[in-house]
Amino acid sequence: MFSENQWIKIKAPATVANMVCGFDILGFAVNSPYDEMEMKWTTRAENEARITIINIDNYNLPTDPEKNVAGAALIAFLEEYEEKQKSSSPKIKFEVKINKLIKPGSGVGSSAASSAGAVVGANYLVGNIFSKDDLVRFAMNGEKLASGVKHADNIAPCIFGGVTLVRSIFPLEIIALPSPTLHVTIVHPQIEVRTSDARSILRQQVLLKDAIKQWGNIAGLVAGLMKSDYDLIGRSLEDVIIEPVRSILIPGFDDLKLACKKAGALGGGISGSGPSIFMLSKTKEIAIAVEKEMKQLYDGIGLPHHTYVTSINQTGVEIIE
């Protein structure tokens, strides 16, 4: 166990889910933005609360653990932790301070960062007794609270770092994928797209011809990442199932994608359920040129936005004592 009543600091990275063609199964972590959290454990008296959440930012997110994504993840963590403990062991409680630097609802895994950061922090405090897969399982309860569905394509890269493939949720099987150096440009137009809404508009049936294209692209993307084949990665960043439906929610989407590709981007698309859009590039110079195109397009239509030029984060959630 880490010392009682001693705060640890946690850095939880933003993540890009789906990676265009891999809806609900592929994702990667980025080096910026990231959330900052602090956590400590103390011995709990019989009637005391097990989790206290303190918001440091101004987003006014719920502090009731059952309504907060970090809280929901920690409830699942503590249930299994207490089951593992002997009945004579002292009961513990967690205090969590959350400073969200990843804007909620931006489409770059804001809720996943809170849930994943909380369970990785909790595990560190109790002596790292759970595996990364266990932590993903706990953190998915936060995603369920946020979007109504347990999906791990943000949680897995947030905890593992790098690019991850969620081959299966039940039972959980996560595969960490290698990747060549990739530079990432993200634009976050300041509009709101709720994940639950972006999921509810999806068709429940797909045509076989679209499915064949899609699994060709997913396999091509995984092969491209493993072989460091940039052209194959670029060709495989195509989504014929989800993007045509969701892109109508994002102003200027098609023009922006075209302009970024002209500037040299390998490809990209909607980040998670949007509204952010991401592009992958081979060099930092291209990633900066891509950012310029994004800014130009959204300045042109008067849509306020934030951009990030970053790279793939290979470490996942980090603990800083």
Contact set with ligand HSE (CB under 6 A) = 17-18, 23-24, 151, 153-154, 195, 198-199, 272-273
Q: Cβ-closest residue to ligand HSE?
A: 272
Instruction: In angstroms, give the least distance from the CB of 113 to ligand HSE.
Output: 11
**195 in catalytic set:** yes
**Torsion from C-alpha of 94, 97, 98, 99, nearest 10 degrees:** -160
Q: In what order do the strands lie in the sheet with 267-270?
A: 267-270, 277-281, 183-189, 305-311
List the structure tokens of 195: 């994940």
Q: How far apart are the first and last CA of the chain?
A: 14
**52 in catalytic set:** no
Question: In terms of residues, how long is the chain?
Answer: 321
Residue type (1 letter), 78: L
Q: Is the dihedral of CA 196, 197, 198, 200 positive or negative?
A: positive
- Residue 24 or 133 having the CB closest to ligand HSE: 24
Closest CA to 27 of 133, 131, 168, 176: 176
Cβ-based neighbours of 64, under 8 Å, separated by 6 or more: 53, 71
Indicate which residue of 185, 195, 243, 310 is catalytic.
Answer: 195
Indicate which residue of 143, 243, 291, 293 is catalytic.
Answer: 143
- Residue 96 or 108 having the CB closest to ligand HSE: 108
**C-beta separation of 271 from 277 below 8 A:** yes
Instruction: In angstroms, give the least distance from the CB of 108 to ligand HSE.
Output: 8
- Residue 119 or 146 having the CB closest to ligand HSE: 146
- Residue 97 or 141 having the CB closest to ligand HSE: 141
List Cα–Cα distances, 127 to 39, 120, 121, 249, 321, in angstroms. Answer: 14, 11, 10, 44, 14
- Residue 23 or 81 having the CB closest to ligand HSE: 23
List Cα–Cα distances, 92 to 37, 49, 54, 313, in angstroms. Answer: 19, 10, 18, 32
Cβ-based neighbours of 51, under 8 Å, separated by 6 or more: 65, 71, 74, 75, 78, 93, 94, 96
Q: Is the dihedral of CA 87, 89, 91, 95 positive or negative?
A: negative
- Residue 146 or 309 having the CB closest to ligand HSE: 146
**C-beta separation of 31 from 15 below 8 A:** no
Cα–Cα dist 277/189, whole Å = 8
- Residue 39 or 268 having the CB closest to ligand HSE: 268
Instruction: In angstroms, give the least distance from the CB of 75 to ligand HSE.
Output: 21
Catalytic residues: 143, 195
